[in-house]
Structures are given as C-alpha cells and as structure tokens.
C-alpha cells in the first residue's frame, strides 16, 4: 500500500479550500464564447485565457476542424511515426517553419511534450542545460529527463547566465543550452533575448532554445514571435511554440534551421514516436488559426491595444503590477490565502481570473494572473477594471505600486 503521508497534506489543503469555498481550480465551464464564459448558469468575463487572438471560436477555425474530423476521423489511429501522420501535419510544419523564419518544424501533440521530447533527445550526457529560474514545468521536466546537467540562472538576468556559463567552462561541456521563455507565462515578462543572443555569440558551445508558447501570435511583426520581435530569429537555434494559446487549438512544435538535428528529433523524440499523433481536427484548427493570423495581423495590434487599455486601468487603480509589453498582466498579492480570497471575490462579481501559487510562482509570491484577448470589447475590459477596483479596495491592495512604463521599451507588436 502507498504510504498515506504522501498525499495527506495536499488533500487536506484541497479539502479546506473546498469547505471554505475559496478553492478556485478545475471550475467547469458550461459554455464559452471566448471573452465570456458561463459557470453554474452565470456569465463571467474571461480575464485569464491564453486564447489571445480569440480564434478558438472563429467560425473558420471551427469549420476547418469539423471538415478534418469528417475526412480523417477524430482519433489518429497511431503515432505519427507509424500510421497517424497526415498531409495536414506536413503542411502545418512547412507553414510554421516559414512563419517563424526557420527551415524545419516538427509538430507534437502538446507544447508540454514538445519540450519534453526535444530537450530529452537533443541534450547529450556532457551538456549543460541552463534555464531561466522561472521556466515552465515542461522545460524543467525536459531538462530533468535529459542526460545533461540542469542548472538555472536568475530570472531574465543574462549576467547570471553568463556567470554560470563561465563556471561550467572548466567541465568543458560539449553544448550549453541557454533556455528562456519569450513571454513568461506567469509574470508576462518579455525575455531579455538580446542579452542572451550576445552570450550565445560569445560562447561557441552555447545553443539558444526559446520556448515561445506565449510569444507566438502575440509578439513581433504579425505575431511571428519573440525572436522576430527582437530581430533575432537567426540567432535562436530552436524555437518552440504551442497551438494552445494564440493558435486556437492544442499541439506544439519545435522549429530550427538545423536540418540534421530536426531529422534526429523526428526519429528520437519519444513522445513523437511512442504516443498517438495530434488528431487531424486539431492540426486543421491550428492551420486555420495560422491562416487567419497571416491574413489579419491587425488582430495582434488589437490585442496589444486591449492590454494597454487594461494596463492604464491597473495604473489608475494602483494595483501592484508591472507592464512588460505582453497581454499577461499579473497582480502581485503575496500570501496564497489572500490570492485565493481575491480570486473568489472576482469570481463572485463576474470576473474569471485565477490565482497562481507555488510551484507556478515562488512561495509567498502568489499572483492573480490576468490575460487579455483581441476579442475583448472595451466594455469587457472596463467591467474587469471596475471589479478589480472594488475588490482591491476591499483588500486594501491599492498601494499605488503599479509601475513601469514598458520594461522592454519596444514591446509593442
Ligand atoms: C511557457 C510554456 N511552455 C509550454 C507550455 C505547454 O504548452 P501546452 O499547453 O501546449 O502543452 C505552456 C503551457 O502553459 C507554457 O506556458
């Protein structure tokens, strides 16, 4: 029998949260239109979704997914390696590679397993995997499962990465993976990519790996991502993206100019070989999302206008938040209990935004993660601001600490 003390502490926390009515996770939506959702018969403004361009409900995307389901069925019947690969997968790979400015792309079933499969396969036994300390769990797990040595550098701090790289020199690693997110999923911070690019140029063994889950469709000209935003595409060795955010579907990909590495990965990424393929309907949805993104780049501008409108409100209210030029605006709360209560009150007043607590953020640094969409109407944003103002008032959280014109000055699309 499994030792009970393995589960009891967490089970007790969940029980207390549910009994106290403030447990916020796994809320079941009975309907969604994108910027609005329905829970228990109540309509709320969604202020925490990663569907940044609102494409998940676009009729063209829904139609493409439906057509693909009719043509290929809803299940893939096997891994891509064997019998689950379709012409749609291959088309999407070509289109994604061209979109982010790389020669090759490889589609996986989720962003999570893209990182897992890629980092596990690409890193050799003597390598150093150096990631930003706020890296997503999929990056951390990918590094932990890889044969190289995992180390972290301080968040968005290239000087810290440099020190770690220099220190590793004595061990003479064959390759040093420098890993960052383009837009950090919790804080919304934009990567200090130019500094990491400079570091990569100085160190011949350095390989720059960019998880751009939240940058694709959001940053850069036409939403081409954070590398494009900084004009650094040629200096980034691997760009990872997902379809579960701006591309309205589910799935993920890795892109690179290194054709041999990509062929290697196509045959060595374990989730690609040993797990079922992404169903054609999800591929078709991502492809339709990409079509729309390419044809309607104004959606990206609208997204940033909406984020800016929200940010102006946060500043006026005096929330403890920071502008970084992305549509993710995180409100610092501190204690987990205070964040749970804050989120509950938002929910009761018609706004859906969730707290992020340890391990998604450091202990004692709980936040309310808000995120905006291009399909939010001004009225949606103003409603969120009204509610935030009254809840922040009630919690004594209008300290005026919201600050900072763009930390990354040129962080418009
Ligand atoms: C930075 C980052 N990388 C990877 C992922 C995993 O992506 P997916 O949801 O497609 O599995 C996420 C998802 O939240 C993420 O935020």
Per-residue pLDDT tens digits for 277-304? 999 999 999 999 999 999 999 999 999 9
pLDDT bin (cut points 50, 70, 90) of residue 413 is very low
Residue 139 DSSP symbol? H
Above 50 in pLDDT, residue 122?
yes
CB 131 within 8 A of CB 155: no
pLDDT bin (cut points 50, 70, 90) of residue 170 is confident
User: Given this chain, do its domains 17-46+297-394 and 57-295 carry the same CATH topology?
Assistant: no
Q: What are phi and psi of 79, to 5 degrees?
A: -75, 165
- Topology of domain 57-295, CATH: 3.40.640
* Atom number of ligand 1 nearest to Cα 138: 4
The whole-model pTM stands at 0.95
111: which 2 tokens? 């962003």
242, 285, 326, 328, best to mutate for ligand 1 pocket (most atoms within 8 Å of CB): 242
Q: Which residue has the tokens 């004009």?
A: 231
Buried b (16+ CB within 10 A) or exposed e, 117-153: bbbbbbbeeebbbbbbebbbebbbbbbeebebbbbbb
pLDDT bin (cut points 50, 70, 90) of residue 205 is very high
Alpha-carbon span 278 to 272, nearest angstrom: 9
243 CA to middle of ligand 1, Å?
A: 9
Above 80 in pLDDT, residue 180?
yes
160: which 2 tokens? 């810290």
Proportion of the chain above pLDDT 90, given as a percent = 91
Above 80 in pLDDT, residue 386?
yes
CB 38 within 8 A of CB 27: no
Task: Give the CA count within 13 Å in the CB-facing half-sphere of 10.
Answer: 5
* Atom number of ligand 1 nearest to Cα 243: 10
184 CA to middle of ligand 1, Å?
A: 10
Q: Where are the domains of the chain?
A: 17-46+297-394, 57-295
Question: Please, which residues have CB within 8 angstroms of residue 413's CB and are 6 or more apart in sequence?
Answer: 218, 219, 220, 221, 222, 223, 229, 300, 301, 303, 304
Question: Among 325, 330, 328, which residue's Cα sits nearest to residue 373?
Answer: 328
The pocket around ligand 1, CB under 6 angstroms, is made up of: 110-112, 115, 136, 138, 181, 185, 211, 213-214, 242, 244, 252
pLDDT bin (cut points 50, 70, 90) of residue 171 is confident
If you classify domain 17-46+297-394 with CATH, what class do you get? alpha beta
109: which 2 tokens? 């079933």
């Amino acid at each position: 029998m499994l030792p009970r003390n393995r589960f009891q502490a967490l089970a007790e926390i969940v029980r207390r949260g549910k009994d106290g009515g403030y447990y916020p996770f796994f809320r079941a939506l009975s309907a969604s239109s994108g910027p609005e959702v329905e829970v228990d018969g109540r309509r709320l403004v969604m202020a925490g979704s990663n569907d940044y361009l609102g494409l998940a409900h676009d009729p063209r995307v829904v139609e493409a997914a439906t057509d693909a389901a009719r043509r290929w069925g809803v299940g893939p019947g096997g891994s891509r390696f064997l019998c689950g690969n379709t012409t749609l997968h291959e088309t999407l790979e070509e289109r994604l590679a061209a979109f982010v400015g790389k020669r090759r792309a490889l589609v996986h079933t989720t962003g999570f397993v893209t990182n897992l499969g890629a980092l596990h396969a690409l890193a050799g036994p003597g390598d150093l995997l150096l990631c930003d300390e706020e890296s997503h769990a999929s990056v951390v797990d990918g590094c932990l499962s890889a044969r190289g040595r995992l180390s972290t550098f301080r968040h968005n701090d290239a000087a810290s990465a440099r020190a770690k790289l220099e220190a590793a020199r004595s061990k003479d690693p064959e390759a040093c993976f420098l890993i960052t997110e383009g837009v950090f999923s919790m804080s919304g911070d934009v990567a200090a990519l130019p500094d990491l690019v400079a570091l990569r140029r100085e160190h011949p063994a350095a390989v720059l790996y960019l998880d751009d889950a939240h940058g694709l469709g959001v940053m850069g000209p036409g939403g081409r991502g954070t590398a494009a935003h900084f004009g650094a595409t040629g200096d980034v060795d691997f760009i990872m993206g997902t379809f579960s955010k701006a591309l309205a579907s589910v799935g993920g990909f890795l892109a690179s100019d290194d054709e041999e590495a990509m062929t290697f990965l196509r045959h060595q990424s374990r989730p690609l070989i040993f797990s079922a393929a992404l169903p054609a309907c999800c591929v078709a949805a991502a492809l339709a999302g990409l079509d729309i993104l390419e044809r309607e780049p104004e959606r990206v501008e609208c997204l940033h206008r909406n984020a800016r409108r929200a940010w102006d409100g946060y500043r006026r209210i005096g929330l403890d938040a920071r502008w970084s030029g992305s549509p993710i605006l995180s409100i610092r709360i501190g204690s987990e209990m205070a964040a749970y209560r804050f989120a509950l009150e938002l929910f009761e007043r018609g706004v859906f935004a969730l707290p992020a607590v340890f391990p998604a953020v450091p202990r004692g640094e709980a936040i309310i993660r808000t995120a905006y969409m291009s399909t939010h109407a001004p009225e949606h944003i103003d409603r969120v601001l009204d509610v935030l103002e009254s809840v922040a008032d009630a919690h004594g959280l209008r300290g005026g600490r919201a600050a900072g014109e763009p930390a990354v000055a040129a962080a418009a699309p």
